[in-house]
Structure 1
Amino acid sequence: MTANPDHFILICSTCDGGAAVSAEIAAEVSSLPNGFAIRHVSCMAGCERPCTVGFQATDKAQYLFGSIQSDDDIAALLTFARQYHISADGWTKATDRPKALLHKTLARLPRIGEGVLQ
C-alpha cells in the first residue's frame, strides 16, 4: 500500500463476506496504480446487498457497489479502480464500467461542491 494514499477502497467490515473480499483485494492492491489504500469501515448501509465496497478520493465522485461475492466481481473492482484513478473527477458512465458491476452499483455521489444550487 501507498505511504500517502489519496484513493481509497472502502470495504464494509460488518457485511457477510467482507473479510474474504478484503483479503482478495489486499492480495491484489499492489497491482493498482500508486495512491490506493484499503479502509475497513463499519456499515455502509448496503445490508441488503453484501458485501459492499466503496471508492473515495478527494475531489472525485464516490461509488458504492454491492453484492460483491465472486472472483469476477473482485477483478471488476480492480479494473474499476484503475478507471477511477485516471478519471479527473471520478465520474464514469455505467456502460464504461466493467460489465460485472453494471447491476451492482448502489450509488454514485457527486464530488463535494459539484452541482450545488445557490
Structure 2
Amino acid sequence: MSEPVILYVCTTCRDAADSGDGPRAGARLHEALTAALAERPGANVRIEPVECLSVCKRPCTVAVASPGRWTYVYGDLDPAASAAIILDGIGLYAGTPDGIVPWRERPQEFRKGVVARLPPAPAAS
C-alpha cells in the first residue's frame, strides 16, 4: 500500500457563530472528518490536527498533501456539512499520480475554496 494522503485540519479556525466557551469550528470539522473517515474502512487517509494554517480569513481550512504530489490548501469549508465532500475530494486526489484533479472533476467546495497549490517537495538527494 502506498503512503497515506495526509489531511491537515486547522483546529483553531473559528467562524462567526462560535461562542467563547464551545469548540471552535475547526475542531468541529476535525471531529466530523474523523467520524466520517471511520465509516470508510480501507481509506488511505491520515487526518492530522494542526494548530493553525494561517488562513484565518477563510475558515474552516484544510491542507491535503502526499509525497510526490502537489499540496492543496482549501478554505471556506462548513464544519458540519463538509466532511464527506472533503473525503470524496481526497479520494480523487489519491487517484492521481501528481495530485492534480481536473478542475471539472473537483467537488464544488474544492473549486471555490482553493487557497493555494504548492509543488511537490524535491526528493532528498
Counterpart of 2:51, as a letter, is S
Alignment-derived partner of residue 48 in structure 1: 57
Alignment-derived partner of residue 28 in structure 1: 36
Q: CA deviation at 1:95?
A: 2.2
Counterpart of 2:119, as a letter, is P
Q: Tell me, which stretches of 5 or more residues in structure 1 are unaligned?
A: none
Q: Is the 8 A contact 1:72 1:100 kept in 2?
A: no
Determine what percentage of the aligned residue pairs are the same residue: 25
TM-score normalised by length of structure 2: 0.78
Superposed CA RMSD in Å reads 2.1
Q: Tell me, which stretches of 5 or more residues in structure 2 are unaligned?
A: 15-24
Q: Distance in 1 between matches of 2:5 and 2:36?
A: 15
Q: CA deviation at 1:5?
A: 5.3
Cα gap change, 1:105/1:33 in structure 2, threshold over 3 Å: closer, same or farther? Answer: farther
Alignment-derived partner of residue 94 in structure 2: 85
The higher radius of gyration belongs to: 2
TM-score normalised by length of structure 1: 0.82
Matching of residues 67-82 of structure 1 within 5 Å? 67-69=76-78, 71-82=80-91
Q: Is the 8 A contact 2:32 2:79 kept in 1?
A: no
